[in-house]
Structure 1
Amino acid sequence: MTGVAGALTTAASLPQVEESAPAPAGAAVIRAVPAPEPVAPPAPPRGQPAEGDAGDRPRGRRKPRGQGIREHRRQQTRARIVDAATDLFDARGFDAVSVVEIAQRAGVVEKTVFNHFPVKEGLVFDADPPMRAALLDAVRRRPAGESVAAAAGSFVVAAVSLLGTPEAADGVARMARVIRGSRTLQVREREILGELTTSLADLIAEETAARLGQIEPWLAAHAVLGLYASLLELARDRVLAGVSGPELAAELRHQGRRGLALLQFGLAGYAKRR
Structure 2
Amino acid sequence: MPTAPAAEPVPSVPSPLIRAFPTAPPPDGLPAERESTAPAATGPASPGGDAARTAAPAVEDDADAARRAARAPGRREQRYQETRARIVDAAADLFADRGFDAVSVVEIAKRAGVVEKTVFNHFPMKEGLVFDADPPMREALLDAVRKRPSGESVSAAAGSFVVAAVGLLGAPEAAEGVARMARVIRGSRTLQVREREILGELTDSLAGLIAEETRAWPGQVEPWLAAHAVLGLYASLLELARDRVLAGVTGPELSGELRRQGRRGLALLQFGLAGYAKRR
Q: What TM-score results when the alignment is normalised by the length of structure 1? A: 0.77
- Counterpart position of 1:151: 157
Larger of the two Rg values belongs to structure? 2
Give the % identical residues: 82
CA gap 1:256/1:131 in 2 versus in 1, 3 angstroms: same
Is 1:163 equivalent to 2:179 in the alignment? no
Residues 80-229 of structure 1: matches in 2 within 5 Å?
80-229=86-235
The gaps in structure 1 that reach 5 residues or longer are 1-17, 33-59, 268-274
* Higher RCO (CA < 8 A, seq sep 6+): 2
On the 8 A contact 2:17/2:132 being kept in 1, the answer is no
Residues in 2 aligned to 1:166 and 1:130: alpha-carbon distance in whole angstroms: 21
**Cα RMSD over matched residues?**
1.8
Q: Which residue of 2 aligns with 1:230?
A: 236
The alpha-carbon deviation at position 66 of structure 1 amounts to 2.1
Q: Is 1:23–2:16 an aligned residue pair? A: no
Question: Contact conserved, 2:17 with 2:131, CA < 8 A, in 1?
Answer: no
> How far apart, CA to CA, are the structure 2 residues paired with 1:193 and 1:30?
11
Question: Displacement, 1:129?
Answer: 1.1
Q: Which amino acid aligns with 1:85?
A: A
Aligned-pair distance for 1:128?
1.2
- C-alpha distance in 1, partners of 2:100/2:229? 30
**Number of residue pairs the alignment of both structures matches:** 222
CA contact 1:22–1:134 (8 Å) conserved in 2? no
Q: Which runs of 5+ in 2 are unaligned?
A: 1-6, 21-65, 274-280
Answer yes or no: is the 8 Å Cα contact 1:30–1:131 preserved in 2: no
Residue by residue over 1:178-235, the C-alpha shift from the partner in whole angstroms, topping out at 9 and shown as x without a partner, is 0000000000000000000000001101111111221100000000000000000000
